[in-house]
Structure 1
Amino acid sequence: MSRWAVTPARADYVTIPIAAAITGYSAKAIRRKIEAGVWLEGREFRRAPDGHVLISVKGYELWVERGRA
C-alpha cells in the first residue's frame, strides 16, 4: 500500500457528467437549466473550442449562493 495520498486538483470547468456528480443535479437537469436560460453562457457555463459545454464550478457555487432558480 502506498504511503502517498493523491488529491486531485480542483478544475475550474467540468463536463456535464462530472458536474452532475458534484452537484447532485442529473445531467438532464443541467441541460434543461441551460436550455431554459436559468444558467447563462459565460456565467454558469462555457463552450469549449470543440463545442462541448463545460460547467463553471465557481459559477454554479455563485448561482447556489444567489438563491434564485
Structure 2
Amino acid sequence: MLRYLTIPKFAAESGYTEDAIRTKIRDGIWSQDQVWLKAPDGRILINVPGYEQWVETAGVLKLHRKAASKSVSCIKAPGAVSALRSSPQPLI
C-alpha cells in the first residue's frame, strides 16, 4: 500500500466519507504534516502511517484542535440595549 493517498482513495480504504476527512482536516483534528500534507501540486494527501498513529494514540496525543466554543455568555456587550427599551412604543 502507498504511504500517501488522495482523499477519495483514502475514503474508499478507510470507510470515512470525503466530507468527514475534510472536516477532520479543517477542524484540526488531524494535524498537518502528521496525518495529512499538501503535495507540491496543491492536492491534499493523507499520510497513512500518520493516520494509523492517530488512531492508536489519539487519546494520548494533544492534537491541535480548533474547536468552537459552545458556551453562551451572560454578559451584555457594551452598548447592548435591553429588550424592554428596544421595543417600540405602543400605539394609542
Relative to its length, the structure with more helix (as a share) is 1
Largest Rg, 1 or 2: 2
> Within 1, Cα distance between the matches of 2:46 and 2:4?
5
Quick one: which amino acid aligns to residue 13 of structure 1?
A: Y
* Larger RCO, structures 1/2 (Cα 8 Å, 6+ apart): 1
| Consecutive unaligned residues in structure 2, runs of 5 or more | 64-92
Gaps of 5+ in 1: 1-9
| SS of equivalent to 2:37 | strand
Indicate which of 13, 18, 22 corresponds to 1:31. 22
Deviating runs (4+, > 3 A) in structure 1? none
Q: Secondary structure at the match of 2:32?
A: coil
Shift in Å, 1:67: 3.7
Note the aligned Cα RMSD (angstroms): 1.3
